[in-house]
């Protein structure tokens, strides 16, 4: 047997696991800051949990779910997304007694898609949800949270926020009918994929990437002309606050999202640097979904981001482990080295030393690891009882007594 991994799956090690852990710790930090509680669900559920809410005609349900029959004939599915399992867990564990419920989770999802850069069959998602509030401030909070997390992990120039509103579910239902009628008149010019969606999922034709579909969609009835006053106002409030907060966004009327449960606000953070897999993070409102799944008639909103997609866009400086390296020129100064090692450990400052008594090799390791500082121990440092800190970005050097090192590093970070 030839040993190999399953297509579309990948092992995490080296830089990839460092990035994963950095993403994980960033999510933990921001979830605490924003009072979200973690909720982990099993990786498989009864299949019926997904098929209706995600849309019988959605790509995920039609082509991508890993579904299997258990020995007792129960139909089970590896979770393709986190929102429906989160809601299932909130209902079955009676978590909806006190609202709003603010929950988050991180973990693997499974979709049988064609693997390519940024698209896998097992991938990891970060997922945040607020159940039980229809205040626009909940929408805003989630968008800001998404922005804060992304901005900590990847350069802001890498992504753009796109937002849209789909109106109430009734608005959307009527709008879909109008769209089906419009597209059916243009059927001969549509791509094969879009032809199949005319009646089942006409909204998806709007975000088709085929040239012909795009030009036909440009003249299609506009969602904005088919929306009730309240969701329109709700959307205006969000836009106004985003402007006040100086968060750049692009109002994209073709943004519809791929799953059926959305209504009202939808949003995506897109990048130009991931080829066709250009969405890093996506979400929106799903008022009505909780009731459909057997819970109370309360609204909900959330988002999910793909960890692998964020990871591709991360720069080394954003996930390197030890920003402080040590370099010593000779074994004769070992006692001075041990002094600083003990000091750094006592003060919980992480550091790296390559066990070499060789400046050149230690400095070159520090450079290749993108270290921020190197503490240098040479003859003068040993004789005069101080340490030299070299900042690699500027090559600036500062001479410090051991007790000054902690403050120096903290002030600079
Ligand atoms: P989604 O747009 O299907 O939404 O997925 C969210 C994110 O997961 C995508 O933007 C992408 O970064 C990542 N992703 C999706 N499929 C793959 C794949 N095959 N390989 C790698 N990454 C992938 C949802 O899943 C909704 N549940 C989001 C949500 C939460 N809406 C409300 N609450």
pLDDT digits (tens, 9 = 90+) for 361-394: 999 999 988 888 999 999 999 999 999 999 988 8
For ligand 1, whether the C-beta of 81 sits within 6 Å is yes
Each residue of 296-330: pLDDT tens digit? Answer: 999 999 999 999 999 999 987 677 666 899 999 99
Residue 323 has a pLDDT of 81
| Average pLDDT of every residue of the chain | 93
pLDDT of amino acid 319: 73
* Confidence band for 412, pLDDT divided at 50, 70 and 90: low
Among 161, 172, 123, 152, CA closest to 285: 172
User: Global pTM?
Assistant: 0.85
**Is the CB of residue 405 less than 8 Å from the CB of residue 389?**
yes
**Does the Cβ of 119 fall within 6 Å of ligand 1?**
yes
In ligand 1, the atom with minimum distance to the C-alpha of 121 is 19
* Residue 162 beta carbon below 6 angstroms from any ligand 1 atom: no
User: In a 10 Å sphere around its CB, with 0-12 CB exposed, 13-18 middle and 19+ buried, how is residue 268 labelled?
Assistant: buried
**CA gyration radius, the chain:** 26
| Distance (Å) of CA 254 to CA 164, 217, 275, 324 | 8, 9, 19, 47
Is 282 a pocket residue for ligand 1 (Cβ < 6 Å)? yes
Pocket of ligand 1 contains residue 128 by CB under 6 Å: no
Phi-psi region of 348 (alpha: psi -120 to 50; beta: other; left: phi over 0): left
Q: How far is the CA of 26 from the centre of ligand 1 (A)?
A: 19
CATH for the 14-168+227-313 domain, from 3.30.930.10, 3.30.1330.40, 3.20.20.70, 2.40.40.20: 3.30.930.10
DSSP 402: G
pLDDT single digits (tens) 78-135: 999 999 999 999 999 999 999 999 999 999 999 999 999 999 999 999 999 999 999 9
Q: Does domain 324-412 have CATH number 3.90.1170.30?
A: no
Q: Where are the alpha helices (DSSP H) in 229-353?
A: 229-244, 289-292, 307-313, 334-346
List the one residue out of 34, 36, 11, 268 whose CA is nearest residue 124.
11
The answer to whether the Cα torsion of 173, 177, 182, 188 is positive or negative is: positive
Q: Which residues neighbour 184 within 8 Å (Cβ) at sequence distance 6 or greater? A: 198, 199
Give residue limits of the domains in the chain. 14-168+227-313, 324-412
Element (DSSP H or E) covering residue 389: strand 387-391
């Amino acid at each position: 047997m030839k040993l190999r991994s399953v297509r579309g799956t990948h092992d995490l090690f080296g830089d990839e696991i460092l990035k994963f852990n950095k993403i994980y710790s960033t999510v933990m930090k921001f979830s605490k800051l924003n009072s979200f509680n973690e909720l982990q669900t099993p990786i498989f559920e009864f299949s019926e949990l997904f098929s209706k809410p995600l849309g019988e005609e959605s790509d995920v349900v039609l082509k991508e779910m890993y579904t299997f029959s258990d020995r007792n004939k129960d139909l089970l599915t590896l979770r393709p997304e986190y929102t429906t399992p989160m809601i299932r867990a909130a209902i079955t564990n009676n978590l909806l007694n006190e609202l709003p419920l603010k929950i988050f989770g991180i973990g693997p999802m499974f979709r049988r898609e064609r693997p390519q850069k940024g698209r896998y069959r097992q991938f990891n998602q970060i997922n945040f949800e607020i159940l039980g509030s229809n205040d626009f401030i909940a929408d805003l909070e989630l968008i800001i949270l998404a922005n804060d997390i992304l901005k900590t992990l990847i350069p802001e120039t890498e992504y753009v926020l796109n937002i849209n509103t789909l109106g109430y579910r009734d608005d959307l239902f009527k709008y879909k009918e109008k769209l089906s009628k419009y597209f059916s008149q243009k059927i001969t010019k549509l791509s094969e994929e879009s032809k199949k969606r005319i009646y089942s999922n006409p909204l998806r034709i709007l975000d088709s990437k085929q040239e012909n579909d795009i030009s036909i969609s440009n003249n299609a009835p506009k969602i904005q002309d088919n929306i009730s006053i309240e969701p329109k106002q709700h959307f205006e409030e969000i836009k106004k606050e985003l402007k006040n907060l100086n968060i750049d966004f692009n109002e994209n009327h073709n943004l519809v999202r791929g799953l059926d449960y959305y209504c009202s606000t939808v949003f995506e953070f897109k990048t130009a640097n991931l080829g066709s897999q250009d969405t890093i993070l996506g979400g929106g409102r799903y008022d009505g979904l909780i009731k459909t799944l057997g819970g109370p008639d309360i609204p909900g909103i959330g988002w999910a981001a793909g960890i692998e997609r964020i990871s591709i866009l991360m720069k080394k400086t954003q996930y390197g482990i030890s920003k402080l390296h040590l370099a010593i020129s000779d074994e004769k100064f070992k006692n001075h080295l041990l002094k600083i090692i003990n000091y750094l450990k006592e003060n919980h400052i992480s550091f790296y030393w390559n066990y070499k008594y060789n400046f050149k090799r230690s400095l070159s390791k520090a450079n290749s690891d993108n270290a921020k500082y190197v503490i240098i121990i040479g003859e003068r440092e040993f004789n005069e009882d101080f340490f030299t800190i070299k900042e690699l970005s500027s090559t600036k050097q500062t001479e410090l007594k051991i007790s000054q090192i902690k403050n120096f590093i903290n002030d600079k970070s």
